[in-house]
Structure 1
């Protein structure tokens, strides 16, 4: 666990591509040999960091939805939890660090698919529950709305993290705006 935390910190400080065994060892306060004893390849440790980040991110969103009983409240909760809190959101920064590697590494691609699939599934469950309760009138199929919401979170979240042109507040406003149109519930806009 100590090496996992050290790797996470090193990645956040230096970026994934610049993080080396020495960086992880320094963060953990151990010799480089300790790191290589447990992880022959640094990518093995990186795989654990990414898997842990995916699990934490999805678990938070699933708990947010489960802690509310009304579909509209569930939808609002997962819309909020899908965006970074700001440019220094540790968990989202980690997820964005690993995303580009999905093209080259099967493990990263599998974890990225899992992350995407769990988020889409969560939205679909909430959208269907809202439709069944007569709360939502979906303008498009639930799977399509869910996929669009996740894509918007990913795109807006990147801009929040990179501090390019969108703040967290703007991203949330846009995301809620799309969701309110997609489910025909104007009261969803904050």
Structure 2
């Protein structure tokens, strides 16, 4: 017989804690994040949080891993079924930007990426996300070039990395509430760059 109070579904409890920690980080930031904040979000005791994650850093790393996976799934969901290179590139650009300053996924990712300079695990997740996003752009650019739709002005890898970097830079301004840069303006600017490097005036 199990110990009194021990959860029957430990996987579900761990997932609930990861979700709760993600919400707490989005609302409060990483600095000063406390076990009791996560417990309150999850509707559990602080002891329950520590039972599953004795080290807070391990829980934060799980939050980062889950956020990266969800973000990439969402990007694939809106682009994978689009076959026309021009339409796919438009969809890809749109999917990489925050909806607004309150976009929870982007706010969480930017906050978690700040751990990369102090943690090999977080650095690996940030690098992995970047590589996957570069891969998404590389694919659409290569297909467009191979079919004669795009006339690329530089090596495809360079163009793909620049597009991801533009997303990241403009996205940070959006979630940081820069009044001079809206999502619509950021999307216009990235599409203008894409037109310049692909030779497609209608992008």
TM-score range, shorter chain: over 0.9
- Separation (CA, whole Å) in 1 of partners of 2:133 and 2:140: 11
Residue of 168, 172, 177 corresponding to 2:187: 172
- Separation (CA, whole Å) in 2 of partners of 1:74 and 1:173: 16
- Separation (CA, whole Å) in 1 of partners of 2:117 and 2:18: 24
- Aligned to 2:60, the other structure's residue is in SS state helix
- Aligned to 1:103, the other structure's residue is in SS state coil
Relative to the length of structure 2, the TM-score reads: 0.91
Q: Structure 1 segments of 4 or more deviating over 6 A? A: none
1:39 equivalent in structure 2: 53
Residue of 43, 50, 56 corresponding to 2:70: 56
- Listed as ranges, the matches of 1:17-166 within 5 Å are 17-164=31-178, 165-166=180-181
Q: Structure 1, residues 30-62: CA drift from partner, whole Å, max 9, x if none?
A: 110100000011111111111111111111112
Relative to the length of structure 1, the TM-score reads: 0.97
Aligned-pair RMSD on alpha carbons?
Answer: 0.8
- Aligned to 1:17, the other structure's residue is in SS state coil
Is there any run of 5+ residues in structure 1 with no aligned partner, and where? none
- Separation (CA, whole Å) in 1 of partners of 2:142 and 2:195: 15
- Separation (CA, whole Å) in 2 of partners of 1:149 and 1:69: 20
Query: Per-residue deviation at 1:160?
Result: 0.4
Query: Per-residue deviation at 1:63?
Result: 2.2
Q: Structure 1, residues 96-155: CA drift from partner, whole Å, max 9, x if none?
A: 001121111000000001000000011001100000111000011110110000000000
Residue-pair matches, total: 188
Is there any run of 5+ residues in structure 2 with no aligned partner, and where? 1-14
